[in-house]
């Protein structure tokens, strides 16, 4: 799910200063390990904290929903969804007057990054749901197998009983 810049700022306000610094070095395009993010922050002289503090900050950011962990121990943030503002004109123009249209402040590349993030989030959601369905199918298959074995045993006992009854009837 794409998140707006104002929501990110609200969530970051409740985080530690280390987490706020580290957030800027969590990539959007591909997931990085805590070590890679730590190295990037050190290279930019943004922080001098140890890698375990970076891991803790990444955990805090993940728990807050600001970043995600698409692959084990690799972190990534979603692209920010720009919020378009529609400005209302102060007065109505006279009929026949041309009013220049303002282009939105959003760049095409930013829009593509936002759409890409939405597709990735949707793919992650679908993948998780498919895994859940697969495990449920497996559970049902196992219960059918147990039921089939139980029915086979009961059928064997029924045939024995029929044989005994035929023997008694003769």
φ and ψ at residue 101, rounded to 5 degrees: -90, 135
pLDDT band at 27 (very low <50, low <70, confident <90, very high): confident
Contact, 54 vs 38, CB < 8 A? yes
- What is the Cα Rg of the chain in Å? 30
CB proximity list for 132: less than 8 A, separation 6 or greater: none
Contact, 19 vs 55, CB < 8 A? no
Q: How far apart are CA 162 and CA 101, in angstroms?
A: 90
The confidence score (pLDDT) of residue 19 equals 87
Contact, 21 vs 38, CB < 8 A? no
In degrees, rounded to 5, the angle at the alpha carbon of residue 103 between the alpha carbons of residues 100 and 107 is 165
The confidence score (pLDDT) of residue 154 equals 94
Q: What is the pLDDT of residues 116-164, one digit of tens each?
A: 888 888 898 899 899 889 989 998 999 999 999 999 999 999 999 999 9
- pTM beyond 0.75, yes or no: no
- Per-chain mean pLDDT for the chain: 81
In the DSSP assignment, the letter for residue 158 is H
Q: How far apart are CA 53 and CA 70, in angstroms?
A: 21
């Amino acid at each position: 799910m794409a998140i707006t810049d104002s929501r990110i700022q609200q969530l970051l306000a409740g985080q530690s200063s280390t987490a706020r610094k580290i957030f800027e070095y969590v990539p959007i395009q591909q997931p990085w390990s805590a070590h890679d993010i730590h190295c990037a922050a050190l290279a930019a002289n943004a922080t001098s904290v140890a890698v375990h503090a970076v891991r803790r900050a990444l955990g805090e950011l993940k728990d807050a929903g600001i970043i995600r962990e698409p692959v084990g121990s690799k972190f990534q943030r979603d692209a920010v969804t720009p919020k378009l503002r529609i400005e209302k004109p102060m007065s109505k123009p006279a009929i026949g007057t041309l009013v220049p249209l303002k282009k939105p402040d959003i760049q095409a590349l930013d829009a593509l990054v936002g759409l890409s993030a939405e597709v990735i989030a949707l793919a992650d959601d679908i993948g998780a749901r498919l895994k859940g369905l697969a495990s449920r199918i497996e559970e049902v298959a196992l219960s059918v197998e147990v039921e089939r074995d139980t029915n086979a045993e009961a059928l064997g006992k029924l045939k024995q009983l029929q044989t005994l009854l035929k023997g008694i009837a003769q």
